[in-house]
Amino acid sequence: MREQVERRAPAPDLRDVFLCHAWDDRQGAAKELHDLLEARGVKVWFSEKDIALGEPFLREIDRGLAKSRVGIVLVTANFLKRIHGHSIADKELSVLLHGGKLVPIIHGTTFAELNEESPMLASRNGLNTAENSMADVATKLADLVSVRISDEK
Average pLDDT, the chain: 86
The pLDDT value recorded for residue 8 is: 47
The pLDDT value recorded for residue 78 is: 92
Arithmetic mean of pLDDT, 121-144 = 95
Which of 89-93, 97-101, 107-111 is the most confident on average?
A: 107-111
Assess whether pLDDT exceeds 90 at residue 10.
no
Rounded Cα–Cα distance for residues 41 and 37 (Å): 7
HSE at residue 61, side-chain half, CA atoms within 13 A, is 18
The pLDDT value recorded for residue 146 is: 85
Assess whether pLDDT exceeds 90 at residue 140.
yes
pTM: 0.85
List pLDDT tens digits, range 20-70.
Answer: 999 899 999 999 999 999 999 999 999 989 988 888 888 998 999 999 999
In contact, 88 and 57? CB cutoff 8 Å: yes
Domains located in the chain, CATH noted:
17-152 (3.40.50.10140)
Assess whether pLDDT exceeds 90 at residue 133.
yes
Residue 50, judged by CB atoms within 10 A of its CB (0-12, 13-18, 19+), counts as middle
- Greater model confidence, 1 or 110: 110
Residue in 149, 142, 146, 145 with CA at minimum distance from that of residue 36: 142
Assess whether pLDDT exceeds 50 at residue 7.
no
Assess whether pLDDT exceeds 70 at residue 151.
no
DSSP string, 15-55: EEEEEE--GGGTTTHHHHHHHHHHHTT--EE-HHHHS-TTS
Rounded Cα–Cα distance for residues 1 and 30 (Å): 22
In this prediction, what percent of the chain has a pLDDT beyond 70? Answer: 88
Arithmetic mean of pLDDT, 87-97 = 81
The pLDDT value recorded for residue 131 is: 96
